[in-house]
Structure 1
Amino acid sequence: MSKKLAVIVGAGPGVGNHVAKKFGLNGFRIILISRSLNSLNTYVDALRSEGIEAYGITADAGSAESLEQAFDQIKQSYGVTDVLVYNAVTRVGGKPTTLTPEVLLNNLSVDVGGALTSALQVIPDQRKRKEGTILFTGGSIAMHPSPDYSSLSIGKAAMRNLALTLAAELAPEGIFVGTVTISGVVQAVTDYDPEQIANVYWDLFEKRDQHEVIY
């Protein structure tokens, strides 16, 4: 039997790569998606050094067309996505009065638009098989908005609602949707160590007993 496939949109040295490693060490093939080819190559090499089958694909999470092309390539080259983890985000500070509609919409194109686009690429095949998992990286700023990070607050709130409404719609079809709501700054050797957070994603994937974990 071939390995299952996990796709992580928003590769990076924090949560994204640690989630990739966790799933990879548990027998998944890994696809990392990021805008930077040089960074992707470094991340993929690091996973392969752990004995993980890993590949990288460049795409812009803020562009629906770019994501659609990336997922088309994934399906053609690697098969159906069993687990999607959406980890991309635009971390831009600023009070609401400093925002323009253009900046807000541009940020939302990554924070929630990319999440929806990515999910829509994998849902049809998961529906056919009546199984699959979609996980989102959330933040407590969605429930406790910060005036200094107004755009991020709005984006995470929208993504949280997307995750929970998708969960309600897709559960009867065998597709599990969940979100890990991180309540602090991700940093190694702290309570928010990305390696420990990655374990939460794995537990959520395995247990499927709640649609939101607040960490």
Structure 2
Amino acid sequence: MASTSPVILILGSGPNVGHHVAQAFVAKGYKIALASRSVKEEDKNADLVRISADLSDPHCVKGIFSKVEASLGLPSVVVYNASAGAPNNPEEPLSIPLADFSRDLHVNTTSAFVAAQHAALSFERLPDHRSKTFIYTGNILNETTIASLLDGGVGKSATAHIIRSAAAAYSNKGFKFYYADERKADGTPVYSKISGEAHGKFYVELAEHKSQGPWQQTFVEDVGYKHFPTA
């Protein structure tokens, strides 16, 4: 189904960041597609599609994009907001069971890679005036280690590399790829005190930029982008 309004796909549409990002883009006239394990697919309308999906299975991502295109049109903004990884014993970080490590890596990286692939394929087919922006919700773990968050750090580090590579390779096509990381004003991580509202506002700004900015977008609530020395 063709859409005259732009479309955003949010993968991992939770009640904080996912909710506020959706609301921020609704205010800009976007149609919304939400994908997560907890959504109810029957709760939808002409401007909103909910897709039940388990991102621990990377093979589900292609189907998500197909459903979005059929219902709303090609997404011009894709936000990957899914994250996985329970705290591990900081004194024995290598004690994580392989099954848990593999599952979390799929959520944090492999499905994000597939989403970026399909986002690029969608962007190729969109008119020039569309945003063509992919945003990965990250954190400071691509720069530093936290002993109790080993597999989360592995996933964030690997996906940061994917985003950095894509940002450099596709900028000449007008595609934008970002790794977003909310920080406190002093550059330290916000940890669990994430502002969904700040993410929504900042992600709209990234989508509205005409060209690729720094691939790593560290930002502060009520300030926006702020460069910090590597942790």
Range class of TM-score, shorter chain? 0.7 to 0.9
Is the CA contact (8 Å cut-off) linking 2:76 and 2:122 kept in structure 1?
no
Distance in 2 of aligned mates of 1:100 and 1:79: 40
Is the CA contact (8 Å cut-off) linking 1:60 and 1:67 kept in structure 2?
no
User: Which residue number in structure 2 is paired with residue 62 of structure 1?
Assistant: 56
User: Which residue number in structure 1 is paired with residue 185 of structure 2?
Assistant: none
Residue 186 of structure 1 and its aligned partner are, at CA, apart by 4.3
Distance in 2 of aligned mates of 1:22 and 1:6: 11
Distance in 2 of aligned mates of 1:73 and 1:204: 25
RMSD across aligned positions (CA) = 2.1
User: Which residue number in structure 1 is paired with residue 174 of structure 2?
Assistant: 174
Distance in 2 of aligned mates of 1:195 and 1:37: 21
Residue 156 of structure 1 and its aligned partner are, at CA, apart by 0.8
What are the ranges of 5 or more consecutive residues in structure 2 without an aligned counterpart? 183-188, 220-231
Residue 194 of structure 1 and its aligned partner are, at CA, apart by 1.4
Aligned residue-pair number: 203
Is the CA contact (8 Å cut-off) linking 1:14 and 1:186 kept in structure 2?
no
Which moved further from structure 2: 25-34 or 89-98? 89-98
Structure 1 stretches (4+) deviating beyond 4 angstroms?
Answer: none
Say which structure is richer in helix. Answer: 1
State the TM-score, normalized to the length of structure 1.
0.86
State the SS of the aligned residue for 1:107.
helix
User: Which residue number in structure 2 is paired with residue 210 of structure 1?
Assistant: 214
Matched, 1:144 2:144: yes
Distance in 2 of aligned mates of 1:88 and 1:37: 13
Matched ranges for 1:87-106 at <5 A: 87-94=81-88, 95=90, 96-106=93-103
Matched ranges for 1:44-59 at <5 A: 53-59=47-53
User: Which residue number in structure 1 is paired with residue 5 of structure 2?
Assistant: 3
What are the ranges of 5 or more consecutive residues in structure 1 without an aligned counterpart? none
User: Which residue number in structure 1 is paired with residue 36 of structure 2?
Assistant: 34
User: Which residue number in structure 2 is paired with residue 165 of structure 1?
Assistant: 165
State the TM-score, normalized to the length of structure 2.
0.80
Could you tell me the percent identity over the aligned residues? 22
Distance in 2 of aligned mates of 1:158 and 1:199: 26
Cα distance change on mapping 1:186 and 1:54 into 2, 3 Å: farther
User: Which residue number in structure 2 is paired with residue 133 of structure 1?
Assistant: 133
